[in-house]
Structure 1
């Protein structure tokens, strides 16, 4: 028995060795390198930052050769950009920034990300730069340069990033201070980027063998023929990307405010209240993910309060107009994101005006409806049955009973006259559950069975 167990153990040992030998690559055999790819083809938001952070984490975990960030963005949020730069600087895996495809741009916030790559590259017919911070101007005017303090801070940060990556710091500083823009050939000649490449595959072939210095130390790239693994935005990142976009956040906020107002004046339908509440929460959450003007928040709240007050008063639009003006101005001046592109600020002004137009239509509709209701006489109360015909079913002497609209009511003859059964009377007023009536002057002894009410 012992001999059998010994023989079985020897067999298992030999089988394990053979399996290990067969699965171990030979000295001349190499595995295909992997590169993780992340696309930034829209406004840089908090969702973009989390997307890039996840890509770097997965690349480090899976020991990928590099992370490739494909850039095509006009700019974005300052806080999100700084988070991205910090994640790139602390990465243990090489970061390759690449303006792609042909015709793409890496402006404003995109230039900061481009410069901070261990290797920076551009496709033909692409552009980088134009990173001067801007701010919202008065209605009718173009966006203006931000205050000098903001410009100096971002210019110094751009200069520091470029110097840390061995790129011309003084030239990089001009992206912020002078709004300098360079095409791919100019950027390559100036040393802002390291290489021009037609596509990602061409880029990986050209940078193969280049040495870079990461947070974990020096590393030589082996990217020739590497497998590119694309990392799309997951559901959480997509949601954060949407709500942290100032434009979408403001749309959600106004849907929330208008939805609650509609629900308040048409209770029982529930859909406006539910949709408005969800939109309001998402809008407020998004507003917390980008920089804003506190005074503009108070303008929006004041406007919402004036809209609500309008429907409790008979000002016929005075408070409502003031509320809409307050909301439009609040939306217009809320975002204070200096790295958003100038064209975005112009589009955001149109959004604010659109919110005002929609609000004006909504307010007009509600005010017209309220006015019609106010013109109608009350259908309940002391005057509910005023001048309505009724028929005596129990002699009024002076009290008795009448039939009114199929219901039996106590009634009293107003002048004390006796009115016989079946006679037609006119209701003068109602006090509680008692009707005060008088004989109908057209009373011809009409039978109560012919009552028409």
Structure 2
């Protein structure tokens, strides 16, 4: 009898289906890593990011540190471009050149943008504008006045009161190929500084195809122009009302980046603003000439007070910290060491007045020398790096008063009659507390002393000190009038 077919018997197609299932599983396993990589890869069509850095106020060491950090952040973000939003009256030439070296070495295009309306890129800011790969200005801004200022000299390429110089400065230059006539400089050092600055800014202009003749005029004659004229004279490439307008106009432009033509892709990019960290903010505070000057004075006075009153500790510690921070800040600033020498001399004269009174002559001379040296410490016209006259006046007055009062008090304390110590024990009178044979205990000035004597003494009898042997007093019976 034939057995009936089971309903669960495998279909003839089962082996074929299993074969295809294995092949599909193998293909899926092989393609899975590639699918993950494709999904994780960045979209090359995305607008990307643009890093925004603000250059505001006087350009100094803190600005250099901030921009160095910002450029590094832009490299980490793989930014499409860096925008330097500039509003500065100028600053230190050393810091400016450090920043320009960073800009020229940057692998990311840098757009210099003088903004917002009413801002300026004067002096050192003009050099930054010329060093950028793309230069732009907002409506209502200006740039120029790039004449270098020498410490200890006038620093002017043309005397301010020279009518011919004013006419030459205000005369339209157009596209003249001949550079503006150079007026006589005040001295050889000024000519050297101006010629060096001219060569530098012309090299930046040639590098980016900008108006080199106007750049030289800005250095030699302190010429300055507004945004529209800057665009017409090919000092800049773009006039943009805001950041979005700037990125839209910059998109698709070709710039020279490290000798190669690079096309900007900035339209619709995400703007990432980089703020200064606490170190940069702290450096910006202490490199303010007024703050550095006050820190130096606090340090000097704190150490002087500690030396005059040993053991106070706090004035010495505070003074040492303030002096170190102040000297660090002064090391970063263009100072005149002759001015610092005069400040120290003035403090010394005021101290001498307190120690050796001279009817005020040394004190008055010290205050005058102190104030003169303070003015010479920062004796240039560099914007943002000038010592305030009210600060100098207040410091001179405070120095005279503090040194006169405090040092006079110290002198009076030194001249006061001695009331304790070995010298005051000789001749002092006291009472015998306990006595045995040639020695015992006595009380002098409220203190208990060991004593000896060549004559017998009784407890409670008055004694007088005639000498001292280490910690043992030599006494005798006090004369009758000692009662």
Q: 1:265 to 1:9 in 2, by over 3 A?
A: farther
1:283 to 326, 330, 338: 326
Which residue in the other structure is 2:147 paired with? 132
Describe the superposition over 1:155-195 as per-residue Cα deviations: whole angstroms up to 9, x where unpaired.
Answer: 33233323433222222222222222333333333332222
Give the Cα separation in 1 of the matches to 2:448 and 2:36. 97
Counterpart among 324, 349, 353 of residue 393 in structure 2: 353
1:270-322 superposed Cα distances (whole Å, 9 cap, x missing partner): 232222222222222223323333433433454566567677x4347766665
2:135 is aligned with 1:120: yes
CA separation of 1:15/1:156 partners in 2, compared to 1, >3 Å: closer, same or farther?
A: closer
Tell me by how many angstroms 1:440 deviates: 5.5
The yes-or-no answer on 1:63 pairing with 2:104 is no
Other-structure match for 1:110: 125
- Hey, what does 1:314 align to over in structure 2? 356
| Alignment-derived partner of residue 33 in structure 2 | 16
Structure-1 residue corresponding to 2:110: 95
List alignment gaps of at least 5 residues for structure 2.
1-18, 154-158, 161-185
Matched, 1:217 2:257: no
Distance in 1 between the 2:208 and 2:465 partners? 94
Q: What number of residue pairs does the alignment pair up?
A: 427
Cα deviation, residue 35, structure 1? 0.8
**How does 1:124-163 map onto structure 2 within 5 Å?**
124-134=139-149, 147-163=190-206
- Partners in 1 of 2:364 and 2:246 — Cα distance? 57
| Long gaps (5+) in structure 1 | 444-453
2:374 pairs with 1:374? no
Checking the alignment, whether the CA contact within 8 Å between 2:210 and 2:234 is kept in structure 1 is yes
8 Å contact kept, 2:58–2:385: no
Q: What secondary structure, in the 3-state scheme, does the structure 2 residue paired with 1:224 have?
A: coil
Residue 214 of structure 2, aligned match among 154, 164, 171? 171
Report the Cα distance in structure 1 between the residues aligned to 2:343 and 2:34, rounded to whole angstroms: 74
Q: CA deviation at 1:264?
A: 2.0
RMSD: 4.0
Q: Is the 8 A contact 1:78 1:337 kept in 2?
A: no
Change (3 A) 1:33 1:224: same
Q: What SS class does the counterpart of residue 106 from structure 1 fall into?
A: strand
How far the C-alpha of 1:373 sits from its partner, in A, is 0.9
The offset of 1:218, in angstroms, is 0.8
CA distance in 2, matches of 1:21, 1:122: 41
- Equivalent-residue separation in structure 1 for 2:412 and 2:96 (angstroms): 54
Please give the alpha-carbon distance, in whole angstroms, between the structure 1 residues aligned to 2:45 and 2:38. 16
* 2:274 counterpart (201, 206, 231): 231
Paired position in structure 1 for 2:166: none
Q: 2: CA distance between counterparts of 1:248 and 1:9?
A: 73
* Distance in 1 (alpha carbons) for counterparts of 2:442 and 2:42: 106
- How far apart in 2 are the matches of 1:152 and 1:91? 27
Are residue 197 (structure 1) and residue 212 (structure 2) matched? no
Does the aligned pair in 2 maintain the 1:131–1:179 contact within 8 Å? Answer: yes
Q: CA deviation at 1:87?
A: 1.9
Q: Quote the residue 2:312 is aligned against.
A: 269
Cα distance change, pair 267–394 in 1 and its aligned pair in 2 (3 A): closer
Pairing 1:253–2:296 present: yes
Question: CA distance change for structure 1 residues 134 and 437 in 2, over 3 Å: closer, same or farther?
Answer: farther
In 2, Cα distance between equivalents of 1:296 and 1:128? 33
Residue 359 of structure 1: how far off its partner (Å): 1.9
Give CA-to-partner distance per residue, 1:27-70, whole Å, 9 cap, x none. xx721221111111122112212322333344345432111011
- SS, match of residue 369 in structure 1: helix
Q: Larger C-alpha radius of gyration, 1 or 2?
A: 2
Q: Which string of whole-angstrom CA distances, capped at 9 and with x for unpartnered residues, describes residues 388-411 of structure 1?
A: 66346689xx99985432535648
Distance 1:437 1:239 in 2: 71
- CA gap of 1:9–1:287, structure 2 versus 1, over 3 A, is farther
Contact 1:71/1:104 (CA < 8 Å) preserved in 2?
yes
Other-structure match for 2:164: none
- TM-score normalised according to structure 2 size: 0.74
Q: Distance in 2 between matches of 1:241 and 1:332?
A: 21
How far apart, CA to CA, are the structure 1 residues paired with 2:135 and 2:42? 34
Separation in structure 2 between the aligned mates of residue 262 and residue 306 of structure 1, nearest angstrom: 16
Q: CA separation in 2, counterparts of 1:184 and 1:399?
A: 101
**CA pair 19-361 structure 1, distance change in 2 beyond 3 A:** same
Residues 399 and 315 of structure 1: is their aligned pair in 2 closer, same or farther, counting only changes over 3 Å? farther
**Cα distance between partner residues in 2 of 1:348 and 1:330:** 13
Q: Deviations over 1:314-346 (max 9, x none)?
A: 3477666655544443342233666x22x753x
